Structure 1
Amino acid sequence: MTSTAPSTTDVPRFGPTARWVHRTVAVLMIACIVTAAILYVSSLAVLVGHRQIVEIVHVYAGFALPVPILVGLASSSYRDDLRRLNRFAPTDRRWLRSKTRRDGTIPVGKFNAGQKLNGALSAGSIIVLFVTGVLMYFPSLVGLSYRTGATFAHDWFAFGVGLLVLGHMAFAFGDPEARRGMRTGRVSASWARKEHGEWAREMGVGRSTPDSDPS
């Protein structure tokens, strides 16, 4: 049996709050996606039945989606992670353009450009889905044209979020060490140096990278 205890070469990556927020949002998001699929795909709706229960789960999971993120803001370490996610640097643009972005030659901070884009798209989509969901659930708030527009936006953003989540999961399953970082809060120093060299240097386990972009 393989031990999961952290070794002396492990580096702390995510605190308890960040891991709790990630897990809670993931559960709520998956609940929204699964129930949306049941509601919109007639064959699934017939197979599952209980449409009213499915609708209730979808609505309450959707309304609850922003709550873990707002609760997480009470943690300074979580707020620091959000600041890092929202900050794009010249090296991020280099990383996106590079065909060899994962070879460790570009100094990457705690989050790479792909993770930053995923975070921005996810946050924006949650806001749009929440607002349009409110307009759909409380039809008396606005006129018919606004409700029609809200329904159109909600449906297409939901489809986009589904693809985004599938892509996120595919990348996660392809990187066991990244999954361990979110599961246990720690990653190996060698992985940190290779995938997030600038952050590893910041944590005291990396080496200076002469290839850093001075601009």
Structure 2
Amino acid sequence: MTSMPGSAGRTDGTMSPRPETAAGPAQGRPRVPRFTRAEHRVHRATAALMAVCVATAACLYLPFLAQLVGRRALMVTLHEWSGILLPVPLLLGLASRALRADLTRLNRFGPHDRRWLRAVLRRRGARPAGKFNAGQKLYAAWLAGAVLVMTGTGLLMWFTHLAPLVWRTGATFVHDWLALSLLIVIGGHIWMAYRDPESRVGLRTGSVDAAWARREHPLWTPEDDKGGGGE
């Protein structure tokens, strides 16, 4: 909700060195807190439900997978309920002050975010970022909107008595094509996370390398989290 958090920014035109490996943080380097356990759990639960949605959708729409898996009724049930439950982890996570503060950050788009986007498009220049860069903010906003639309259209397809046939036909069209775009965007999110092991370590362990934080998110300091605001 991850973003929930996704791709990490860079402050120059070259790819940032990888100070950590995927196995875990390097020893002896100063680290700073980034995410709480509640945020980690919300991200993991949301990712698991999304994975079930995508996997069951693939089994329903791709003939070779449908034949391989079979049990279409079970796939339909799993797909429907994982979709309905998708917003639940985030809603439960709102009890966490840290998560609410990060959602506020994700909803703020400032001048430095526009500079970050220009630098990415031009493939040069500084990429200033707070705790979340502009790419992560756009991903979170797009994902939130997509989940709401998918839930609404899915309900129209599930409960056929809620709307006339023409509405259900339109809902099916929107649901199917939005699902395809969702798959592409999530694939990009996973790819960017793969390219930045330290970002993954931060989400898993709650802390990141201090040098990485200064390089990738120079406008953010851990003290911002204690105050519940700031970039």
TM-score band, normalised by the shorter chain? 0.7 to 0.9
Work out the CA distance in 2 between the residues paired with 1:64 and 1:170. Answer: 25
Deviation at 1:43, TM superposition (A): 1.1
Q: Give 2:140's match in structure 1, choosing from 94, 119, 124.
A: 119
Q: Give 1:51's match in structure 2, choosing from 66, 72, 86.
A: 72
Deviation at 1:185, TM superposition (A): 0.7
Code of the aligned partner of 2:148: I
Work out the CA distance in 1 between the residues paired with 2:157 and 2:119. Answer: 42
Code of the aligned partner of 2:143: S
Q: Which residue of 1 aligns with 2:41?
A: 20
Unaligned runs of 5+ residues in structure 1 are 205-215
Q: Give 2:97's match in structure 1, choosing from 61, 76, 80.
A: 76
Render the CA deviation track for 1:18-74: whole Å, top value 9, x for unaligned: 111110000000110111011001111011111111111111100100101111111
| Alpha-carbon contact 2:34-2:208 (below 8 Å) kept | yes
Number of residues of Structure 1 aligned to a counterpart in Structure 2: 203
Question: Which structure 2 residues correspond to residues 100-139 of structure 1 after superposition, within 5 A?
Answer: 105-139=126-160
Question: Which structure 2 residues correspond to residues 140-159 of structure 1 after superposition, within 5 A?
Answer: 140-159=161-180
Relative to structure 1, the CA distance from residue 203 to residue 140 in structure 2 (aligned partners, 3 Å threshold; closer, same or farther) is closer
Code of the aligned partner of 1:81: D
Work out the CA distance in 2 between the residues paired with 1:119 and 1:198. Answer: 19
Q: Which residue of 2 aligns with 1:196?
A: 217
Q: Which residue of 1 aligns with 2:111?
A: 90
Work out the CA distance in 2 between the residues paired with 1:136 and 1:182. Answer: 35
Relative to structure 1, the CA distance from residue 50 to residue 100 in structure 2 (aligned partners, 3 Å threshold; closer, same or farther) is closer
CA RMSD of aligned residues (A): 2.2
Overall identity of the aligned pairs, in %: 51
Work out the CA distance in 2 between the residues paired with 1:23 and 1:161. Answer: 18
Work out the CA distance in 1 between the residues paired with 2:157 and 2:117. Answer: 37
Instruction: Give the TM-score, by structure 2 length.
Output: 0.82
Structure with bigger RCO (C-alpha 8 Å, 6+ apart): 2
Kindly indicate whether residue 182 of structure 2 is the aligned counterpart of residue 176 of structure 1.
Answer: no
Unaligned runs of 5+ residues in structure 2 are 1-22, 226-231
